[in-house]
Each structure stands twice: as C-alpha cells, then as structure tokens.
Structure 1
C-alpha cells in the first residue's frame, strides 16, 4: 500500500479531500492495527480523517479491516451489545444502570468500554465500585454471558489493537476514527443480537444507520447523552431502529419528555451508585426517557412482541 498516496487523497482539507474506497480503507485500517504504519504517517492519517470525517465506504472499510481482530461468537437469543466509551462529564453516567436494568428484565447484555478516562466518570469505574469487575479474557466473558446473561469487557481485553488507537487521543489531543468504530463493534457474528450506539453529531445518524444496513446488523441508534447510549433524561432524543430482517430503518422512539423523577445529584461515583441502587430496588422510579428506551430494547431484542406488552410487564414488575 502506498501510504503517501493515501495521505495525499485524504489530507487535502475538508473541501478538497477524497474519501477512500472500501477496499483501500480496509487495507489501510488493517495495516494500522498491525502496526505497519509509521508514527509520522499515522498521525497525518488520523488528523486528516478528523478534519474531513469518514465517508460511508471508508467507515465500512475500516470495520472490515477491524473484523479480523474481533471474536465471532455464535448468536445468543435476546442479546444487546452496549458500548460505553465516553463516560460522564456533567451528569451521572446511566449506562451501567441501563445495562443492569435490562439484564434484570431477562436480556443478555454484553457491555464493553474503556478501562479508564482521567477526564470523565467511566462505566468501568462505576461497576468496579459496585464489585462488578471486567472479564479477564475473551473466553471468560463468553462463559459469563452463557452462564449469567451479563458480561462487561474493557476494550484493551476485547481488542488490544483498537485500544491502542483509542489511547492515541492522549498523545494527539483529539479523538480519532477508533472512537467511532469502538461504538459499532460486537463480539458476535454480524447478524447476532442488537447493537446499541450513539452519535454525537446529527450528520452521523444516516451514516451510521447505513453502516448497520451494509453489514446486515440490527441496531438501535440515537444521539444519546454525552456520547453514551442512554437517552438524556433532561433532553431526550429520538431513537432509530435498523431492522435488517424487514430491511428498513424506523424511528422506534420519538423525542420524549424530560424525566419527572429525582435524578442523581451529581456525577460522582458514590452519588451515582446510591441513586442507581435506589432505582434498581424500586425506591425511585426509572426516569421516563430511560424507561421508554428500555421498552424499545425489550421489543427489538425479542423479549416481547410489542411495546405495549413490554410496558405492561414492566409495570407489573414495579418499574
């Protein structure tokens, strides 16, 4: 591969840069993950991509290059794959709560994310304080899912080469394509389970939904909250479902109303856990946007046939 030519194509600025085709993008990202690109060229590539943004074929190609570094577990019924790569900056991180509530509702949950972020409160830190530790390796995580229906794995265990790319943020001062890709991956074969993901900018919504259509993977896509997948309890967004069986993308959940129930007073771990436990123990109601999100999750992963059935069942359970 001619790295200089690649940089020339993508490094002409936002107005004049060209997107790579899928084949070239796959080869490029595979080379990056294999440490076959020198540091100077890699920095140029990452900055160029940051400036121009990934094209649809590029995103698909990068993922194809990444697939060889991921597990390919067989399908498991009623499964959700939840990424957590941003953490809390202003308000409590609710991703662990969403994952644990869905697990209590009979969903198989695979949660993956960063091990540490010195600038935010990560899901890993919250779970660790609750005594829930990440799986030590891929085999252990798979066994946890089969036996308990829940597993959390950090990206440095799930995919070390991708974790290395994520860590370049602390050297460059900017996020890179790995931060987009990490939210799209799954340890299962493409057609298995339902992947949740969030986009930070509206222009990424059609790009990401098209990506899931291209790889034939069911997915729930929303704006989320501070980069996490849970809906913002104060400014909830709509949620879109990529249904590859019906070959359609639909707005499964419209933009809702803000939560009317007490929220965690701040983002700190102790405060977050105390509030989470109160919700899990049914002392505090689930914030309405999160509850509506749960209902959609229960339907698309196959636990219930309709949102009405899921809603009624949650009410019967005291939620």
Structure 2
C-alpha cells in the first residue's frame, strides 16, 4: 500500500483531487482498519477525504473493505437496521422511541450506535436510563434478535476497528469517512432486512441511494434530524425507498407537515424518557412525521402490503 501516492491523488484539494477506484479504496480501507497505515499518513488521508468528499466508487470500496470486519448473519424476516451515531444537540433524540415503537409493531429491530458523545445525548444513554442494556458481544446480540426480535449494540462491540476510526474525531477535531460508513452497515448479509439511513447534507442523498443500489440492499433514505435517522418533527423530509429486487428507487413518503402534537420539552435524558414513556403507553400521541415514518417502515419490512393498511392497523392499536 503506497500511502504517499494515495495522499498525492486525494490530497490536492476539493477542486483538483481525484477519487480512488473501487479496488484501491477497498485495499486502503482494509489496511486502515487493520492498523497497517502509520498515524501520520492516516491523519493525512482522513483530512484529505474530509475536504474532497468520498466518491461513489470510493464509498463502495471502503464498504467492501469494511465488510471483512462485520458479522454476516442470515436473513431474518421483517427486520429493520437502525444506526444512531449523532445524538441530540438541540432537541430530544427520538431514535430510541422510533426503534421501540417499531418493535411493538412487530418489526425485528437491530439498532447500533456510539456509546457516548460529550457534546450530545446519545441513544445509548437514553436506553441506559430505561435499563435497556447493549449486547455484550456479537453472539449475544444475534441470540437476542432470534429470541426477542430486538437488540442494541454499541459500535465498539459490533466493529472495534471502525469504532477506533470514529474516535479519531476527538484527536483530529473533525468527523471522518467512518461516520458515513457506520450509518450504512448491517450485521446481516447485504440483501437481508431494510436499512434505515439518513444524510445531513443534500449532496449525499443521491450518493447514499446509489450505494444501496450497488450493494443490492433495501433501504429507506431521508434527510435526518441532527444526523439521526428519524424525521425532523419540525421540518420532516421525504423518504426514498431503494428496492433491491430491481434496483428501483421511489419516493415512498413525500415531504410532510410539522408535528402538531406535544414534543419533549427539552433534550435532557430524563425529560426525553418521560415523554417517550408517555407516547409508548398511548398517553401522548406519536408526532405525525414519526408516525408516517413508522408506516413506511411497516410496509417495506413487509408487515403490511400498503400504507393505508398499516395506517388503519396503527389506529386500531391506539396509535
């Protein structure tokens, strides 16, 4: 692996840098995750990629290199994979609520994310306040999925080399490609389940959609909320569905209207948990954008054939 040549290609700035081809990107990221790139070169590569942005072939190649470090569980029906890597900075983090509501609706949910972030409130911290513990290892998580249809894993357990890449943020001061890749991964084989994905910047939307088409994975992709996958209750975006059966992409949910129901009063964990419990126990309604997102998930996870069926069923259940 010639780090100097790679840095020369990708480090010429946003206007003059070149994207790596898929094979080179695969070999590079595999070497990075295997600690085969010295620290100085690694920092240079990550900063160069941050400035340039990942090309479509690079993103696919990085993922191919990362696959060697991930489990490859067989398919499990009605399964949704949810990433949670940003947490809440301005408003309550609703990813745990989305996951728990979907599980109550009969969807198998695998949620993965960071353990903590000193600048935000993470899903892991919210689950801890609810006494929902992360799986201790990959085998326990797989057993939880088979037995209960729900499991939460922190990335340091799911994929330690990727967790190490993520932690470089606190040394470099910036996020890196690992933050993009972490939101795309799954412990299941590529075609299994449905991946929930979000982007923070509009230019990443077609890139992420193309990525899922390239690996033949089903996915729901939208502009998230503060980097999380749930629809922003104040400014809900459209949701795009990538169908792996024909590599088709469609807008399964158009841009909606803001929530008209009470939300958590603030982002603090205790307040968030209290509001979540009220929604789960049907004492407080699900915000409309989140409810519409749940309906879309129920359809693509094959719990229901149409959105109207899922909508009617949710209403019958008191939601």
TM-score of the alignment, normalized to the shorter chain, above 0.5: yes
- Name the residue aligned to 1:273: 273
**Offset at 1:215?**
0.3
- Name the residue aligned to 1:253: 253
- Name the residue aligned to 2:39: 39
Tell me whether 162-171 or 245-254 shows the greater mean CA deviation. Answer: 245-254
SS across alignment from 2:14:
helix
SS across alignment from 1:110:
strand
SS across alignment from 1:16:
coil
- Name the residue aligned to 2:20: 20
- Name the residue aligned to 1:144: 144
Point out where structure 2 has 5 or more consecutive residues left out of the alignment: none
Residue 187 (structure 1) aligned with residue 203 (structure 2): no
4+ aligned runs moved over 6 Å, structure 1: none
1:227-246 mapped onto 2 (5 Å cutoff)? 227-246=227-246
**Offset at 1:231?**
0.1
Q: Distance in 1 between matches of 2:178 and 2:44?
A: 15
- Name the residue aligned to 1:88: 88
1:115-134 mapped onto 2 (5 Å cutoff)? 115-134=115-134
**Offset at 1:245?**
1.0
- CA deviation digits over 1:250-284, x for unaligned, max 9? 01010000001000000000000000000000001
- Name the residue aligned to 2:155: 155
- Name the residue aligned to 1:113: 113
**Offset at 1:170?**
0.2
Q: Distance in 2 between matches of 1:266 and 1:121?
A: 11
SS across alignment from 1:128:
helix
**Offset at 1:66?**
0.2
**Offset at 1:246?**
3.3
**Offset at 1:212?**
0.3
**Offset at 1:247?**
2.4
Tell me whether 3-12 or 246-255 shows the greater mean CA deviation. Answer: 246-255
- Name the residue aligned to 2:298: 298
- CA deviation digits over 1:54-85, x for unaligned, max 9? 00000000000000000000000000000000
Q: Distance in 2 between matches of 1:43 and 1:245?
A: 39
- Name the residue aligned to 1:173: 173
- CA deviation digits over 1:86-142, x for unaligned, max 9? 000000000000000000000000000000100000000000000000000000000
- Name the residue aligned to 1:262: 262
**Offset at 1:244?**
1.3
- Name the residue aligned to 1:73: 73
- Name the residue aligned to 1:48: 48
TM-score by length of 2: 1.00
Q: Distance in 2 between matches of 1:32 and 1:61?
A: 13
SS across alignment from 2:80:
strand
Point out where structure 1 has 5 or more consecutive residues left out of the alignment: none
**Offset at 1:235?**
0.5
Q: Distance in 2 between matches of 1:128 and 1:149?
A: 19
SS across alignment from 2:146:
helix
- CA deviation digits over 1:7-59, x for unaligned, max 9? 00000000000000000000000000000000000000000000000000000
- CA deviation digits over 1:171-226, x for unaligned, max 9? 00000000000000000000000000110100000000000000000000000100
- Name the residue aligned to 2:207: 207
SS across alignment from 1:14:
coil
